[in-house]
Amino acid sequence: MKKLIYFLIIPLLLISCKKATDNKESTEQSIGLITKNAMVVSARVEASQIGSDILKKGGNAFDAMAATELALAVAYPYAGNIGGGGFMVYRKANGDIGAIDYREKAPLASTKNMFLDENGDVIPGKSTLGAMAVGVPGTVAGVFAVHEKLGSLPIEDILKPVIELAYRGVIVTEKQEKRIAQYQPLFPKANKDSIPFDKHWKAKDTIKYPELAKTLERILTNGRDGFYKGETAKTLAKFIQDNGGIITEEDLANYEVKWRTPVTFTYDDLRIISMSPPSSGGVCLAQIMKMIEPYNLSEYGHNSVKAIQVITEAERRAYADRSYYLGDPDFVEVPIKNLINEAYLKERMSTFSFEKATLSSDVSHGNIQIIESDETTHYSIVDQFGNAISATTTLNGAYGSKLYCSELGFFLNNEMDDFSSKPGEPNMFGLIGAEANSIVPEKRMLSSMTPTIVEKNGELFMSVGTPGGSRIITSVLQTILNVHEFNMTMQEAVNAPRFHHQWLPDEIRMEPNLFDKSIINQLQKLGYIINEQDSPIIGKVDGILVLDDKSYEGGADYRGDDTAIGF
Ligand code: DON
């Protein structure tokens, strides 16, 4: 049936360089933009356009990654950044895969108990708001590392359109107007001086970023040193310290990215390639998918009671392991192989019954034998050569720590909150951590970001990812399942209502008013606690699906201003 729809609709949609912006407020749109050669899907039209233009100019997916990442720093200050960090997974046209970690690091002067008071209690807000919350940013280093190793165009070609965008300015959307107004009360709490975002910005206004443009010009002239050394680094370190933080010029000069081996596993005839630690994304996704693989989800039906039960119970068990075992592999041993071992996961699910919900209080982390040693943003890109990338980047919270360096023109992250400040105490996403994710100078905080690429029969099938904090992993999971198990188009898979369970708190979060009341009633009778209040949306998924005729379908999430552009 899906094939038939494509057969009828593709000829109508194969218009070169088309934008999928129409009808985006609605979930009625069941097929996303379809292009023949290449595509970028990101949180803002300006960023997707710049990325797509780079591809049209002959650049590859890695050039477009650099351009899109930096364009998001201009067009989407809510989460796009040069003051934060991220992860990218890639698959080259020849099948080679890899991943880069440009996650923030704890400053040299950080200490294990830096967010606790003299009684050992967590100081509210200290790891989330203001200068102490900031981790050493990794984005500029990430962009340069990707470009140097895998890009093909000169860096000027990539940076110039981004700098022009910063000077020209970006038009405020209605969703952005609401976001700025929502977070405005927090800006004076994080900043000594007023910032441009204190102004009452309205939809259709244009915000210009001349200071950010100048910072980007220094980066153009001096490469990554234009950020991590010299004038920018000096200004940034002084600014953070003047606002009560601890990041120094030495922290910035020391920052390094890490090339990582992605987590890979199979699910039916799919091969999933996802982010390895210090993100928990790939490991948790592997655990959940391996736990649900033996069950016949497509027979149960999409968002049916049985499908929700199986997925929830696998999520519960995976997040319990996450809290105990996962952290920065440069500092703690993360037993990845054991955690995604099929026999271990089968044993983990052996306590599940369709008759009754398992209680999270009855689930702890599993015992493994060590045999051997609301903000983030996601974008997916495929190029005309067959390369694909999946990248997720973040300031952590909305506008990060809310600390904005007016002189340099950007917000700084509050990624320190992703560490476990105190064992057993939830962070801003309600995630509990342990020693593996405690604060140590230069360590990377555990992430849930799950940029993912899927192969089918050895060929590229999908690039997918999302923001959403702890809900990232489960949103990526459901999107893959929606296509694979429930035969949805990429756009339908993105649109579909989502739910989430993370072990603690012991509840199923559901996007409000999108799930059938009788399904909710049945789940409640089985002992599940349903929370439809606290997550108005779960994830903002962007993805690209390779269709049978080798064209691409973009899925851009209607929950944001997300847009697919390609040709
Ligand atoms: O790395 C992480 O898991 C978090 N810092 C991501 C934050 C996020 O997705 C916020 N968006 N809603």
Q: pLDDT tier at 397 (50, 70, 90 boundaries)?
A: very high
Q: Positive or negative CA dihedral for 489, 292, 524, 498?
A: negative
Architecture of domain 262-362+450-566: 4-Layer Sandwich (3.60)
CB of residue 418 inside a 6 A radius of ligand 1:
yes
Query: Minimal CA–CA distance to 502: which of 277, 326, 339, 315?
Result: 315
Which helix (DSSP H) or strand (DSSP E) does residue 70 occupy? helix 61-75
Q: Is the pLDDT confidence value at 372 over 90?
A: no
| C-alpha distances out from residue 458 to 273, 279, 287, 380, 503, Å | 12, 25, 22, 19, 34
CB of residue 414 inside a 6 A radius of ligand 1:
no
Question: What was the pLDDT predicted at 9?
Answer: 42
Token pair of 130 as six digits: 């203001």
Q: pLDDT tier at 20 (50, 70, 90 boundaries)?
A: very low
Query: Minimal CA–CA distance to 297: which of 481, 467, 453, 155?
Result: 481
Query: Minimal CA–CA distance to 424: which of 374, 365, 468?
Result: 365
Radius of gyration of the CA atoms of the chain, in A: 22
Q: pLDDT tier at 366 (50, 70, 90 boundaries)?
A: confident
Which residue puts its alpha carbon closest to atom 8 of ligand 1?
469
Evaluate the omega torsion of the peptide bond into residue 505 and state whether it is cis, within 30 degrees of 0: yes
CB of residue 468 inside a 6 A radius of ligand 1:
yes
Evaluate the omega torsion of the peptide bond into residue 137 and state whether it is cis, within 30 degrees of 0: no
DSSP symbol at 28: T
CA of 477 to the centre of ligand 1 (A): 16
**DSSP secondary structure string, 97-155?**
EEEEEE--B--TT--TTTTB-TTS-B-TTTTTSSGGGPPBP-HHHHHHHHHHHH--S-H
Q: Is the pLDDT confidence value at 15 over 50?
A: no
Q: Which residues contact 119 (CB under 8 A, 6 or more apart)?
A: none
Give catalytic status of residue 563 as yes or no.
Answer: no
Token pair of 373 as six digits: 């040693």
Mutate to test the pocket of ligand 1, among 399, 472, 474 (most ligand atoms within 8 A of CB): 472
**169 close to 209: Cβ distance less than 8 angstroms:** yes
Q: Which atom of ligand 1 is found nearest the CA of 471?
A: 9
CB of residue 449 inside a 6 A radius of ligand 1:
yes
Q: Is the pLDDT confidence value at 441 over 70?
A: yes
Q: Is the pLDDT confidence value at 22 over 90?
A: no
Q: Is the pLDDT confidence value at 362 over 90?
A: yes
Alpha helices (H) in 184-256, listed in sequence order: 187-190, 210-222, 225-228, 230-242, 249-254
Q: Is the pLDDT confidence value at 417 over 60?
A: yes
User: What number is the average pLDDT over the span 284-290?
Assistant: 98
**DSSP secondary structure string, 289-336?**
HHHHTTS-HHHH-TT-HHHHHHHHHHHHHHHHHHHHH-S-TTTS---H
Q: Is the pLDDT confidence value at 506 over 90?
A: yes
Q: Give the C-alpha separation, 456 to 459, whole Å.
A: 5
Q: Which atom of ligand 1 is found nearest the CA of 467?
A: 9
Q: Is the pLDDT confidence value at 360 over 50?
A: yes
Q: Give the C-alpha separation, 463 to 451, whole Å.
A: 8
Domain spans in the chain, listed from the N-terminal domain onward = 45-259+383-437, 262-362+450-566
Q: Give the C-alpha separation, 346 to 494, whole Å.
A: 29
- Judged on CB neighbours under 10 Å (0-12, 13-18, 19+), 275 is buried
Q: pLDDT tier at 364 (50, 70, 90 boundaries)?
A: confident
Q: pLDDT tier at 26 (50, 70, 90 boundaries)?
A: low
Please give the single-letter amino acid code of residue 19: K
**46 close to 170: Cβ distance less than 8 angstroms:** yes
Cβ-based neighbour number of residue 343 at 10 Å: 8
- 3-state SS string for 50-65: HHHHHHHCCCCHHHHH
Q: Is the pLDDT confidence value at 368 over 80?
A: no
Q: Is the pLDDT confidence value at 256 over 90?
A: yes
* pTM, to two decimals: 0.94
Question: What was the pLDDT predicted at 27?
Answer: 65
Q: Is the pLDDT confidence value at 558 over 80?
A: yes
DSSP symbol at 227: H
**DSSP secondary structure string, 346-411?**
HHHHTT-BTTBPPPGGG-------------EEEEEEE-TTS-EEEEEEE-SSTTTTS-EETTTTEE
Cβ-based neighbour number of residue 487 at 10 Å: 14
- Each residue of 76-116: pLDDT tens digit? 999 999 999 999 999 999 999 999 999 999 999 999 999 99
Question: What was the pLDDT predicted at 3?
Answer: 37
DSSP symbol at 437: G
CA of 428 to the centre of ligand 1 (A): 10
User: What number is the average pLDDT over the span 138-157?
Assistant: 98
CB of residue 472 inside a 6 A radius of ligand 1:
yes
Token pair of 140 as six digits: 């500029």
Q: pLDDT tier at 11 (50, 70, 90 boundaries)?
A: very low
CA of 369 to the centre of ligand 1 (A): 30
Q: Is the pLDDT confidence value at 4 over 80?
A: no
Question: What was the pLDDT predicted at 424?
Answer: 87
Question: What was the pLDDT predicted at 332?
Answer: 97
Higher per-residue pLDDT: 94 or 14: 94
Question: What was the pLDDT predicted at 273?
Answer: 98
**319 close to 284: Cβ distance less than 8 angstroms:** yes
| C-alpha distances out from residue 95 to 238, 449, 455, 459, Å | 45, 23, 9, 8
- 3-state SS string for 250-288: HHHHHCCCEEECCEEEEECCEEEEECCCCECHHHHHHHH
Question: What was the pLDDT predicted at 214?
Answer: 98
Which residue puts its alpha carbon closest to atom 1 of ligand 1?
447
User: What number is the average pLDDT over the span 533-552?
Assistant: 97
The torsion defined by the Cα of 147, 153, 156 and 160, in degrees rounded to 10, comes to: -100
Higher per-residue pLDDT: 346 or 5: 346
Q: Which residues contact 118 (CB under 8 A, 6 or more apart)?
A: none
The active-site residue, picked from 376, 377, 474, 563, is 376
Which residue puts its alpha carbon closest to atom 2 of ligand 1?
447
- Each residue of 456-488: pLDDT tens digit? 999 999 999 999 999 999 999 999 999 999 999
Phi, psi of 63 (to 5 degrees): -60, -45
CA angle centred on 133, ends 429 and 507, rounded to 5° = 5
Query: What mean pLDDT value characterizes the chain?
Result: 94
Which residue puts its alpha carbon closest to atom 6 of ligand 1?
469
Which residue puts its alpha carbon closest to atom 11 of ligand 1?
375
